[in-house]
Each structure stands twice: as C-alpha cells, then as structure tokens.
Amino acid sequence: MQAAWTSDDEYIVDRLVHSDDALKNALSANTAADLPPHDVAPNQGKLLHIFARMIRARRVLEIGTLGGYSTIWLARALPEGGKVVTLEADAAHAKVAQLNIEGAGLANVVELHVAPALESLARLPAEEPFDLVFIDADKQNNPAYLEWALRLSRSGTVIIGDNVVRDGAITDPDSVDPRVQGVRRFFDMIADEPRLTATALQTVGSKGWDGFMIAIVNDHV
Ligand code: SAH
Ligand code: DHB
Ligand code: MG
C-alpha cells in the first residue's frame, strides 16, 4: 500500500500544497546534512499552518525542530509580531534548522533553543501562554511535554502531538519500546485530563501509517 499512499500524497501536494523555494531548499538541506527523514510531509505541514491560522495563533511552541521544516510552515501562519519558540536537543539538527529558518526569512519570527526540551521548558518565561503547541520530539517524554504544554497554555490553546500511531504499534500494551509506552501514557493522561477535549486521527501517506493527536484546552470549569 505504501506506493499508492505516496503517489496519492504526490497528487495532493502537486494540486494543493505549492511549496516554494524556501520549503524545498529546507528539505534538500536536511537530506544533504543526513538528518533523519522525520519532517512532517508537505501536506501535513500545511495542515499545521492552517490549524494555526484557524485559531489566529500568535505564539507557537514546537518541541522537536529537526531541520525546521514544520517550524517554517507554522511561522508562516503567524501575524506580524508572532513568534515560534522551537526546542531542539541535537546541535547538528539545530544548525541546519537555523540556516533553513534564515533562508526562509524567518529569523526574526523563530526562536530556536538548543538543549534537551525539558531543560528549555523549565527556563521559558511563563507569563505569556502559547496559542498552539506542537509536540514532536522524543516520544518517551510525551507525558512530561503534555504537562508543560498545559502549564504554558490558556483556555483555547490547541495541543497537537505527532506520531501517535506508528504503524499501529501504540495499540500493543506489551510493547517494550519506550516511545510506544510514552505515547500510550500520553493518551492515558489526555483521557483523564478534564482540562482537555481531544481526539486523534490516523493518517496514511508519504510518511507511512501514523497519526496526530489534537486537543483543545477547555474554558475553566
Ligand atoms: N518537527 C520536525 C520533526 C522533528 S523530528 C518537522 O516536522 O520538521 C524529532 C526531533 O526531536 C529530532 O530533531 C530530535 O533530535 C529532537 N529531539 C529528540 N529528543 C529531544 C529532546 N529531549 N529535546 C529536544 N529535542 C529532542
Ligand atoms: C520518528 C520521529 C518523528 O517525529 C517522525 O515524524 C517520524 C519518525 C522517529 O523517531 O522514528
Ligand atoms: Mg514527527
């Protein structure tokens, strides 16, 4: 099925996603630097962009930058004065990302913090909440990232998690993969969290079979 998923994604991207040079150059630079091919697909990047515009996001938090591909899609959704704070542990990934962000003309919109995300999160000023949080780093830490996302949010903040299906691996309760256990714990926390209204969607496409979790922070009860 993968060949069909990929060719159908190519059709969708060809018709609707019009990537410009900055986005194409970012993917080429990531490949040239041997980054893992874990960027969101172009049609997924545009979905994140549309979500950000739907809520008129001004402040976005991204956990897991890689080469900044999703960062560019998100940053382009923001109005004048908007900000993406993006967190990356790997200095080599961050270096490629910073160049890609500069190449897209977004250096003044994106603030890249190079450290393990839990360290960066503990240092972020808490006064201004984020409008949208995209969790896409080491999945074993998803439970801790969810706690931080809630701490840094307000009523109406949207929280999105990438890679919550992983070829169906997440429905195996006996999996010894700490990433699978992290995502399962993430789902359990969300299920028990009265502050969140959440769902998840499976996706197929050029990036295989996976899924997104999407939640919104409720008005305070
Ligand atoms: N959001 C990117 C893809 C991110 S891939 C995009 O769609 O374009 C996941 C990234 O998380 C990798 O670059 C990896 O180095 C980073 N990462 C892994 N563990 C991390 C940690 N503890 N803190 C911050 N980043 C981490
Ligand atoms: C992996 C991580 C991702 O964020 C992704 O989108 C795909 C794969 C991984 O660690 O294998
Ligand atoms: Mg991902």
Average pLDDT for 13-29:
97
Choose the residue to mutate in 38, 47, 73 for probing ligand 2, maximizing ligand atoms within 8 Å of C-beta: 38
Q: Is the pLDDT of residue 23 over 70?
A: yes
Average pLDDT, the chain: 97
- What distance in angstroms lies between residue 37's CA and the mean position of ligand 3's atoms? 10
Taking the domain 2-217, which CATH number applies?
Answer: 3.40.50.150
Cα separations in angstroms, 69 against 59, 78, 120: 17, 15, 20
Average pLDDT for 21-48:
98
Q: Is the pLDDT of residue 131 over 80?
A: yes
More confident residue, 37 or 126: 37
Among 33-37, 42-46, 171-175, the range scoring the smallest mean pLDDT is 171-175
- What distance in angstroms lies between residue 16's CA and the mean position of ligand 3's atoms? 22
Residue 153's contacts (CB-CB under 8 Å, 6 or more residues apart) are 129, 130, 133, 159, 217
Predicted local distance difference test score (pLDDT) of residue 220 = 76
DSSP-based three-state secondary structure for 172: coil
Average pLDDT for 193-215:
98
Q: Is the pLDDT of residue 126 over 90?
A: no
Q: Is the pLDDT of residue 159 over 70?
A: yes
Domain ranges of the chain: 2-217
Predicted local distance difference test score (pLDDT) of residue 221 = 58
Predicted local distance difference test score (pLDDT) of residue 103 = 98
pLDDT digits (tens, 9 = 90+) for 77-108: 999 999 999 999 999 999 999 999 999 999 99
Report whether residue 90 contacts ligand 1, using a CB cutoff of 6 Å: yes
Under the banding of pLDDT at 50, 70 and 90, the label for residue 115 is very high
